[in-house]
Amino acid sequence: MIHRASTSRHRVLVLTPFPPRLDGPHGGARVMAQLLSLLALRHELALLTLRGPGDLAVDPVVARRSAIVTEIPRPGGELALFGRWKRLAQLGLALPGGTPAWAVDWRIPRFAEELRSVTRSWTPDVVQAEFGVMGQYLAAVPPPARRLLVEHDPGHRAAVEALRAAHGFARLPARAEVRSWSRYEQRVLANVDAAAVFTEYDRRALVAASPGLVVRRLRLGADLPEAPLDPLGTDPPTLLFVGSYDHPPNVDAALRLATGIFPRVTSRRPDARLVLVGPAPPPRLRAAATAGVEVTGLVDEVRPYLDRAAVVVAPLRLGGGMRVKVLEALAAGKATVASRLAVEGLDVADGRELLVADSDEEFADQILRLLGNPVERETLASEARRWAEQNLGWDAALDALDSLYDRLVESRA
């Protein structure tokens, strides 16, 4: 049962950079599908999405509940959703106005034309852009429609952290990317009436970038499996990392795990295995598939890998937004070791629902601690599932959006 926080039903046109899918290959597709499928029960929803090569169509549940669904083809051979710093050297440095390379790739004239057509014929109350990449289209939205940016993973923060991690010649394009992101986000925020984010850190960052802008934090939810998965996993003991590797912070985390953390684990537990699951692994990550390390690429379903895992590991050190991979591990009832950044914004406690580590040595120690203590692993998994059952519903986020829509529509008067 969904409890409405608002008695007003609004027309909301949602712009997405890829089709929302409940079974999507990355967290962004799954989060959007879960939230939009429920949002469509509260409001009249229209969806305008880009669909790249290899992308599946909009999830049938989302499509059935939407008044309009339009998919616009996006040229290109990759899934690069959130940023491709390697392309900056050949593209971004030459771009007038400092637009990040990925924003240029997602600038599709036909999409802009369709947006103008739908806003004229369907007259939405609110046009909602999911991810900063789609924020570039909001400047063309005519009144009286109000413009809302839902920012899942602010690019400027990730670019700054990538610059800190870069060395040698790599610092030149990384520095240019920081400048590009700063200019781009300023332009986008200047053309929105409100914004929503998923962490307090990101909320403060957007407020600092655009003083006076209404920025609301949404509480991220996750779909719960009907029953928790195996809390111990199967033999041999397996460590699991899940991510979409077109997202540079995931590549960094996976490489860190494979080359810095896992060797420390196998020096004391040679029977341990590491599985890196997710689409678009770059060559340098595939090269990490040595003895004991498996790089799967895209898989049909992540659940079997989660079920077999002894420990889920999230050693993220770059990027913002909310870590869907951590939420899904907690919801599945799996023992998890994560960085502080990976659990930023989650009301979880180190040693209760999961274990927190920062350095490679700390990660290895925490992983070995769990591999050597099945009782603690099972207790941690049980507490993770209990926390997920109490905290990962979508009602709070939906109520916050209801309130934000009301405020935006009332401000037109």
Same domain, 176 and 108: yes
The CA dihedral of 336, 337, 341, 346, to the nearest 10 degrees, is 40
Q: What is the predicted pLDDT for the residue at 354? A: 98
Interatomic CA distance for residues 297 and 87, integer angstroms: 22
Same domain, 34 and 76: yes
What are the pLDDT digits (tens) for 91-111? 444 444 578 887 888 999 999
Angle (CA) 37-43-45 rounded to 5° is 60
pLDDT in tens, the chain (413 residues): 334 445 579 999 999 999 999 998 888 899 999 999 999 999 999 999 999 998 999 999 999 999 999 999 998 754 444 444 444 444 444 444 578 887 888 999 999 999 999 999 999 999 999 999 999 999 999 999 999 999 998 878 777 877 877 778 878 888 888 888 889 999 999 999 999 999 888 898 899 889 999 999 998 888 888 899 999 999 999 999 999 888 888 999 999 999 999 999 999 999 999 999 999 899 999 999 988 999 999 998 899 999 999 999 999 988 765 578 899 999 999 999 999 989 987 889 999 999 999 999 999 999 999 999 999 999 999 999 999 999 988 999 999 999 999 999 998 76
Helix ranges (H only) for 101-154 are 101-105, 109-122, 132-135
Give the domain range for residue 310: 238-391
User: Parallel, antiparallel, or unpaired: how do β-strands 355-356 and 336-338 relate?
Assistant: parallel
Q: What is the predicted pLDDT for the residue at 166? A: 75
Q: What is the DSSP string of 381-413?
A: HHHHHHHHHHH--SHHHHHHHHHHHHHHHHTT-
Q: What is the predicted pLDDT for the residue at 158? A: 76
Residue 3 covered by a domain:
no
Interatomic CA distance for residues 185 and 413, integer angstroms: 28
Same domain, 209 and 285: no
| CATH code where residue 336 lies | 3.40.50.2000
Residue 2 covered by a domain:
no
Residue 246 covered by a domain:
yes
Overall domain count for the chain: 2
Interatomic CA distance for residues 338 and 366, integer angstroms: 10
Token pair in block for residue 16: 């997405």
Residue 1 covered by a domain:
no
Same domain, 176 and 249: no
Same domain, 130 and 193: yes
Residue 187 covered by a domain:
yes
Same domain, 367 and 401: no
- Which of these, 319, 338, 320, lies nearest to 239 by C-alpha position? 338
Same domain, 337 and 398: no
Q: What is the predicted pLDDT for the residue at 92? A: 45
H or E segment and range at residue 13: strand 11-16
What are the pLDDT digits (tens) for 325-384? 899 999 999 999 999 989 987 889 999 999 999 999 999 999 999 999 999 999 999 999
H or E segment and range at residue 127: strand 126-130
Same domain, 129 and 265: no
If one counts every other C-beta atom within 10 angstroms of the C-beta of residue 150, the result is 26
Residue 194 covered by a domain:
yes
Whether the upstream peptide bond of residue 236 has omega within 30° of 0, thus cis, is: yes
Same domain, 258 and 173: no
Measured in degrees and rounded to the nearest 5, phi and psi for residue 304 equal: -60, -35
- Which of these, 156, 162, 158, lies nearest to 209 by C-alpha position? 156
Same domain, 189 and 286: no
Q: What is the predicted pLDDT for the residue at 94? A: 40
Q: Tell me the CA end-to-end span of the chain in Å, nearest whole number.
A: 33
Same domain, 70 and 113: yes
Residue 147 covered by a domain:
yes
Residue 227 covered by a domain:
no
Same domain, 176 and 311: no
